[in-house]
Amino acid sequence: MAQQATEYLQRLLANENLTEAEAAETLKAMAEGSVDPAVAGGLLIALRCKGEAAAEIRGFATAMRELARRPEIPDGEPYVDIVGTGGDSSGSLNLSTGAALLAAASGLKVVKHGNRSISSRCGSADVLAALGLPMPLDERAAATYLDALGFTFLFAPHYHPAMKNIGPVRAALGVRTVFNILGPLANPATPPFHVIGAYSEEMAELMAETLAGMDAKR
């Protein structure tokens, strides 16, 4: 895959889009560590400079879900994920976490998927830790908290162990990448409903186009 990754990088630098299947292949190769970190960083920056296409994002998100651990939450339940892309560099509050807790307190079942801060000042996991709220690191406990509280949190590093090779690359770059877009789309519980905050109108439209080709009701 090393040679293939370099070829994909050259195509992205030439402003060519990857297919959904090629994007999925790239994500899996990066996750298993078969792509040099420098090339992986180049791919992420080239994607951002070109502008991520819906098919590319969908391929990455689908691959992430395939590689993820699955919480013991039954399919078909009317639960929702409330999440934002981050990466707006505004220094604003983490609004999606507050909105998720408010929605749960109002009676909705919320399965929130998130992480600590990577390219922003405060991630959803940071907020929950500051509030002293539980972050169950167990697939069964996640379902138990959802039943008891109407809210549960899926900590991304636990549910996406294959992403450990990509985390250092993201941290070293320190800028928004396709992974800011992927987080809201890679919830391993595959919730049927999504409320997604985006850092621009253009990104909101791109997220909607991407979700339209995925298994989501609304």
The amino acid at residue 60 is F
Last residue of some domain: 67, 89, 120?
67
Q: 112 and 141 share a domain?
A: yes
Domain of residue 17, CATH code: 1.20.970.10
How many domains in the chain?
2
136 in a domain, yes or no? Answer: yes
pLDDT at 213: 86
* Residue range 153-171, pLDDT digits in tens: 999 888 998 888 998 998 8
- Whole-angstrom Cα distance, residue 152 to residue 143? 7
Question: Which range, of 62-71, 91-100, 205-214, averages the lowest pLDDT?
Answer: 91-100
218 in a domain, yes or no? Answer: no
Give the angle subtended at the CA of 165 by the CAs of 72 and 186, to the nearest 5°. Answer: 40
- Whole-angstrom Cα distance, residue 96 to residue 84? 6
Last residue of some domain: 45, 67, 89?
67
What is the pTM (predicted TM-score) of this model?
Answer: 0.84
Q: 107 and 189 share a domain?
A: yes
Query: Half-sphere exposure (CA, 13 Å, Cβ side) for 204?
Result: 7
Question: Which range, of 75-79, 116-120, 145-149, averages the lowest pLDDT?
Answer: 116-120
Confidence band, pLDDT 50/70/90 cuts, at residue 199: confident
- Residue 114: what are its φ and ψ, rounded to 5°? -165, -170
pLDDT at 56: 97
pLDDT at 66: 93
Q: Is 180:87 a contact under the CB 8 Å cutoff? A: yes
Q: 19 and 125 share a domain?
A: no
208 in a domain, yes or no? Answer: yes
Starting from the edge strand earliest in sequence, which strands make up the sheet with 151-155, in order?
A: 151-155, 110-114, 80-84, 193-197
Average of per-residue pLDDT values in the chain = 87
Q: 23 and 111 share a domain?
A: no
Q: 110 and 195 share a domain?
A: yes
pLDDT at 27: 96
pLDDT at 102: 92
- Whole-angstrom Cα distance, residue 9 to residue 111? 35
Per-residue pLDDT averaged across 147-153, rounded?
91
Last residue of some domain: 15, 35, 67?
67
Query: What tokens does 174 get?
Result: 């320190």
Confidence band, pLDDT 50/70/90 cuts, at residue 64: very high
Question: What region, left, alpha or beta, does residue 174 occupy, with left being phi > 0 and alpha being psi -120 to 50 degrees?
Answer: left
- Whole-angstrom Cα distance, residue 116 to residue 125? 5
**Which structural domain range is residue 151 located in?**
80-159+175-212
- Does residue 119 carry a pLDDT above 70? no
Q: 120 and 188 share a domain?
A: yes
98 in a domain, yes or no? Answer: yes
170 in a domain, yes or no? Answer: no
Q: How many CB atoms lie within 10 A of CB 45?
A: 16
Q: 113 and 204 share a domain?
A: yes
